A and B are shown apart, each in its own frame.
With several copies, the nearest count.
Chain A
Amino acid sequence: MKRFMNEPADFVRDMLEGVALANPDTLEYVPEFNLIRRKAGPSDGRVSLIQGSGSGHEPAHAMLVGPGMLDGACPGDVFAAPPLEYVLGATRSLRTPAGVVYIVNNYTGDRMVFEMASEVVRAEGIDVRTVLVDDDVAVKDSTYTVGRRGIAGNFFVIKAMGAAAAAGAPIDEVVRIGEAVNAATRSMGMALTSCSPPAKGAPLFALGESEVELGVGIHGEPGRQRTTLSSADQTVEVLLGAILAEHDVNRGDEVAVMVNGLGATPINELYILYGSAHKQLRERGIQVRRNYVGDYCTSLDMAGVSITVVKLTDEIERLLSEPAQIPIRVF
């Protein structure tokens, strides 16, 4: 496994430093807490949005910080929820009288550390709330499981909450919006290859010549089954089928669709998949009103894709269309 890095232990630090150097006017890097924060910080009247999570999913979440999106992100090391200290440091650095909302992907480690942080900072007088993201339909949500995972759908939750917070919405409203978007969002992924964590320097799992992991998690967690790669059209059929089976999207509805690369999938393949998804949804009488094609939430160097479908209401559509500005940009 070859990759561009210095010491594996410095992978996250070097990356975050690069992000800050590339955005010197708008972002600041606080190495102590792995924190990328808006230089300006949130103004007093505004709710502050923080996302933790492990690293290795870039652009999520350290590269989603900026006006109209996150106020800060304090990622842990690769695939590891951030230590409590990072979350506390980030929260104290970005607190406002209007309150702080944590956007947390539904994983054991992430939930625990944000729960602990909430206890601590609440005692310091910070009004802190949490919005959980759990869009991955690959995992059944029941009381016998740890529940659905949060994957690429978190982009929409962040985007909508970011727009609401930027407009000065009170904390209850920002949380309501986050929960509404999460409830309207379902995703599923497929891996063509495993990712290789930098420290390990080797793949987490092995897939055969034509084998894929259907429903893979963004940390290389297993999905629903190992199966054989078929055509782009059939791949989309399987993923969309699984998503819509767990989604309240019907003929006549409007949706936002994301075709998300998992790290090593070229954009030409993503557009082939998007074309399929667009046409298959159209055949089902569902209209794609907004689309997102590219890498939004990755799993290091994994070749693969996830598809996300967001059921649009007028409110969600409006929030998604508000301007925002983050490190990930073209020009």
Chain B
Amino acid sequence: MADTTDLTRSIVRVMAQTAIDNEEYFGELDSIVGDGDLGFSLARGFEVVAQELNTTEDEDPGAFLRRVAILITSRTGGTSGPIWGTAFLRAATVASAAARIDRPTVIAMLRAAIEGIKARGKADLGDKTLLDALQPGVDELERQFTRDASDVEAIRATARVMAQQAEATATLQARRGRASYAGPRSIGSPDPGAIVVAYMMRAVSESWK
């Protein structure tokens, strides 16, 4: 168990670092059709997560993720707080219920996170949100697992798909969130939330040893 806990912690650490390092860039992205606060909101939330990572003891992945979920939910402002908090909470619930964190469990955790976001945001694929990078990415990860790819291979492929799909959101018209007010004017730039998850996945892939 110590292994998967360590792994979970290190993935979350990379995600947190990505949010902190790219605060300005993510804010820029959100200011094209949004209101520019995404970078700030995520950085403040994940900052607390990063601090917590340095101070807390080992525990099982479910309990750990629940703590992360609560920190993100309670400390992150904007739409991102509830969306990301819910995603982590749903993943945590699946992790806690599972006997061990194997490949099917990972997929189940991610699918639960996606369902959580959809429920919380009343959003679906094609609405131009982070879902449009996340869901194709998880589909790809599952495909890679099915064909028994190595961890590194699977993660690299997932990161690639998420990057592509995040960029591809530029062609979509936003139907949810603040960008939706722009109507047709939202077409032409990618969804910032989608870019964020793609960046996080790339960082995870690059950090994978």
Contacts and interface: CB of A to CB of B under 8 A. Distances in A.
Nearest to B28: A200
Nearest to A107: B178
A109 B181 contact: no
Interface of B: 27-28, 31, 33, 35-37, 39-41, 44-45, 73-83, 85, 120-121, 175-178, 180-183, 185
Given A81-B78, A83-B75, A200-B27, 9 more contacts: A79-B78, A108-B121, A109-B80, A112-B79, A112-B83, A112-B121, A113-B82, A219-B178, A222-B183
B77 A80 contact: yes
B199 to A, nearest CB: 19
A127 B153 CA distance: 52
Interface residues of A, number: 34
A95 interface: no
B31 A139 contact: no
Contacts of B75: 83, 85
B31 A200 contact: yes
Interface of A: 54, 76-85, 88, 107-109, 112-113, 115-116, 139, 144-146, 149, 197, 199-200, 204, 217, 219-223
B180 A80 contact: no
Main secondary structure of the interface of B (DSSP, over half): helix
Contacts of B36: 79, 197, 199-200, 204, 220
Nearest to B183: A222
Q: Which of B176, B180, B182 has the most CB of A within 10 A?
A: B180
Contact of B81 (A78, A109, A200, A217): A109
B37 A146 contact: no
Contacts of A78: 37, 40
Contact of A108 (B73, B74, B77, B176): B176
Contact of A88 (B33, B74, B120, B177): B74
A222 B185 contact: yes
Closest A-B pairs by Cβ, 10 of them:
A80-B77, A112-B82, A109-B79, A85-B74, A219-B35, A76-B77, A80-B78, A80-B37, A79-B35, A221-B181
